[in-house]
Amino acid sequence: MSRQPKPVAFGDALDAYALIAFLIGGPAAPQVRAILREGDTAVATVNLIEVLDVADRVHGLPIARSMEVLEPLLDGHVTAISLDSAFAQRAAEIRAKHYHRSSCQISLADAVLLATAKPRDRIATADLDVLAVARSEGLEVVALVQRS
């Protein structure tokens, strides 16, 4: 029997790409700012780890500086969703159901993002595989502008 994660009240779940775009002024930054203004936004802690890592390693934005920018959001506008065993199980089920090495390469972090959402929540991402899986799982999506 599958344990269901405890519902968390939010409307939009941001993937790492969304918050990285916000931090560095990437192509999707205006879309992400608009989503943040709407409120009811969430990020899974594993996706937050990915944000901090990629912002530092790839974009040269130190982790401490990223946190200075993100902490005010996390203190009011964005709910950080901590994972429990029910979320872990749901993420594993999603990845096992949809992952394929050549046609649908959703990462574990992507699966966690999808596991945090409930019907009528929106997944904000530029990742085409995540958008497709979200739709097949009955979730709404916000397709973010991709890098050129």
Does the pLDDT at position 138 exceed 70?
yes
Average pLDDT for 95-106: 95
CB 18 within 8 Å of CB 124? yes
Whole-number pLDDT of residue 88: 95
Whole-number pLDDT of residue 14: 95
Sorted by sequence, the CB contacts under 8 Å of residue 6 that are 6+ apart come out as 84, 86
Residue with the two structure tokens 């009528």: 120
CB 43 within 8 Å of CB 11? no
Does the pLDDT at position 35 exceed 60?
yes
Q: How far is CA 75 from CA 10, 71, 79, 107, 134, in A?
A: 15, 6, 8, 27, 27
Among 3, 2, 45, 53, residue whose Cα is nearest residue 23: 53
Whole-number pLDDT of residue 76: 84
Whole-number pLDDT of residue 3: 59
Whole-number pLDDT of residue 58: 97
- Give the pTM: 0.88
Tens digit of each residue's pLDDT (9 = 90 or more) over 3-14: 565 555 568 999
Question: Token pair for residue 91?
Answer: 């993420």
The three-state secondary structure class of 143 is strand
How many CA within 13 A on the CB side of residue 40? 11
Whole-number pLDDT of residue 118: 85
Domain boundaries, the chain: 12-143
Tens digit of each residue's pLDDT (9 = 90 or more) over 103-121: 999 999 999 999 999 888 8
What is the spatial distance between Cα 116 and Cα 5, in angstroms, rounded to a whole number? 8
* Cross-strand partners of 142: 124
Tens digit of each residue's pLDDT (9 = 90 or more) over 36-93: 998 889 999 999 999 999 999 999 999 999 999 999 999 988 999 999 999 999 999 9
Q: With respect to CATH, is domain 12-143 assigned 3.40.50.1010?
A: yes
